[in-house]
Amino acid sequence: MPFDNAHPSLVQALTAKGYLEPTPVQAAILDPALGVRDLLVSAQTGSGKTVAFGLALAPQLLGEEARFGAAKAPLALVVAPTRELAMQVQRELAWLLGPSGARVVACVGGMDIRQEAWQLNQGAHVVVGTPGRLCDHLDKGRLKLDSVVGLVLDEADEMLDLGFRDELEHLLQATPPDRRTLMFSATVPAGIESMARKFQRNAARVAVATGEQHADIEYRAVVVVPREIERVIVNILRHVDAPGALVFCRTREGVNRLQMALAERGFAAVALSGELGQAERNRALQALRDRRARVCVATDVAARGLDLPDLGLVVHAELPNDPAILLHRSGRTGRAGRKGMAVVLVPGAKRRAAERMFFEAKVEPWWIGPPSADSIRARDEVALRATVTELAADVQDDDLAVARELIATGDAERMVAALVRFQRAQLPAPEEVSEWSAPPPAPKRERVQRDQPQAEESFEPGDGPAMNGAWFRINVGHSQRADPKWLLPMLCRRGGIQKQHIGGFRVMRHETRVLIHSGVAERFLRAVSRPDPADANIRVVQWFGEE
């Protein structure tokens, strides 16, 4: 049995849910060598932490019993940074501890505090909540913590980042000193270590190695023209066609504007931002969970702790401010062994900032251009043919009878065309966007050898990263009617290179910059440095400036 060391009542719940084997963090928690020690656990989001601390607490909560007794004062307290995460944890623990008869109550900001007070008065075995709301109930005498034998701080680093240190210490001080304390954190900064020393006893440090950072997430950096961001997002959503997508904006105004723009184009999209009341947020999340909505547009604050079903795509509509935000946002997908994609939109002027952020985050994105409208239409045609072929294998006699009548009464070709048009109308129309003319250099840790020619950029899975090369400057630009159509053959002739060695152009007012593959850059530099009577007024020099 894969969960050999788990409490039998929990094994029953795990089996019913289809769990075949523990995740790395769950396996680490079940190690008999840990006993009932306090734990400081560092593991990435989406690694199965909620089930892990449920498995860890069961021995203290149930002992040798198969079921809980009558619910009175809580035996366990779980503290989470956001209401969405707390409610998610409550749902997870409810099914995990369900066969043992546990009563799991959530206390979070934005919900009816009177209803929560009534539930606490009825008794609970486990209480899950946010720091502020838990402190409210504690201070009013509605939450009794003197019977707590197990306490969990989930995503403790985020709670410190959000300024909840005082509330956490207040809750910890209200619980018995001999409780078992489990702290879960994606990272272990100095503040977490300090809190662990103060409130834990002989804690065991459990660091779960999950391999490469977000190994199940494929990162793509899409170079965009700023004014086309909405259109590019439309094409990305249409091209990837994930069951669920999360699009991040910095402000609630940006969230509302983008959500309305997507809804107008035919996407089933909902918005999540700090200005929404809890009832509105719950409705939006429920629409995503039951798949009435496919796209969620959210701010960072609103999306903290979200675990949405089948979330295959995360889009950063605006460049994250730092690597931690990039990883936190992207970590909403690629969870629990499922594959995901994170797409970062990068305006050309912010390319250098994006490269630094990716390097600091230890992420290697594939630099590509946005999917074109033509490529989406071509994919739609392929999908339509496949769908029709699949459906045709299972038509019934009454369907064939109607088809024969239609064919006998009119133009069969036009009728099929009408059905195709009807099918296309069900999908949001792709947008026309600018072609990607100049790929930025790949990060230093490139995936391809330096002497390989660049593959054609596209949005298809499996494409390589952008060309690694050197930038050169040409002393002609828009004011001299510079055009890649005549610059490209001139550079190939003067530099002794082939078309595939040129990564792209940036034509500006008085100059043009061109990216040359690193494998031929030195040879190109020597060649273009020699005078050329055919283009005596055109100078090409290597460029080391900042974008």
Domains along the chain with CATH numbers? 8-207 (3.40.50.300), 217-371 (3.40.50.300), 374-425 (no CATH), 469-542 (3.30.70.330)
Q: For residue 305, what pLDDT is reported?
A: 62
Alpha helix locations (H) across 292-396?
A: 300-303, 323-330, 351-360, 373-392
CA distance 103 to 74: 9
* 265, two tokens: 């184009």
Residue ranges in the chain whose pLDDT is less than 70: 1, 44-46, 209-215, 278, 301-309, 335-337, 387-388, 391, 415-416, 420-426, 435-468, 544-547
Start-to-end C-alpha separation, the chain: 57
Q: What per-residue confidence (pLDDT) applies to 444?
A: 44
**Are 240 and 341 contacting, i.e. CB atoms less than 8 angstroms apart?**
yes
- Given this model, what pLDDT does residue 346 score? 92
Check residue 449 and give its pLDDT: 36
**CA separation for the pair 25, 210 (Å, rounded):** 9
pLDDT digits (tens, 9 = 90+) for 189-231: 777 788 888 888 888 888 775 545 556 788 999 988 888 999 9
CA atoms within 13 A on the CB side of 153: 29
Residues 6+ apart with CB under 8 A from 19: 2, 3, 51
Residue 541 in tokens: 């020099």
CA distances, 62 to each of 11, 56, 57, 198 (Å): 13, 11, 9, 27
Give the strand order in the sheet containing 269-272.
269-272, 295-298, 244-248, 311-316, 340-347, 217-224, 366-368
> The dihedral of CA 403, 408, 409, 414: what is its sign?
positive
What pLDDT was estimated at residue 450? 34
- Strand segments, DSSP code E, in 394-491 are 469-474
Q: In the block, which residue shows the tokens 């606490």? A: 120
CA–CA distance, 313 with 295 (Å, rounded to integer): 9
Tokens (6 digits) for 435: 């072609």
The pLDDT score that the predictor gives to residue 107 is: 94
Answer whether 364's CB lies under 8 Å from 358's CB: yes
Residue 85: phi, psi to the nearest 5? -65, -40
pLDDT value at residue 213: 52
pLDDT at site 304? 63
pLDDT of residue 315: 95
How far, CA to CA in Å, does 249 sit from each of 258, 270, 277, 295?
9, 13, 19, 13
CB neighbour list of residue 223: distance below 8 Å, 6 or more residues apart: 346, 347, 348, 351, 367, 368, 369, 370, 436, 438, 439, 440
pLDDT of amino acid 150: 93
Asked if residue 296 lies in contact with residue 290, where contact means CB atoms within 8 angstroms, the answer is no
Other C-beta atoms closer than 10 Å to the C-beta of 4 total 9
Query: pTM for the whole thing?
Result: 0.57
Q: Give the number of other CB atoms < 10 A from CB of residue 468.
A: 23
Cβ pair 35, 60 in contact under 8 A: no
pLDDT given at position 225: 87
**Alpha carbon distance 467, 456 (integer Å):** 10
| Residue 527, pLDDT score | 84
| SS3 of residue 43 by DSSP | coil
pLDDT of residue 317: 94
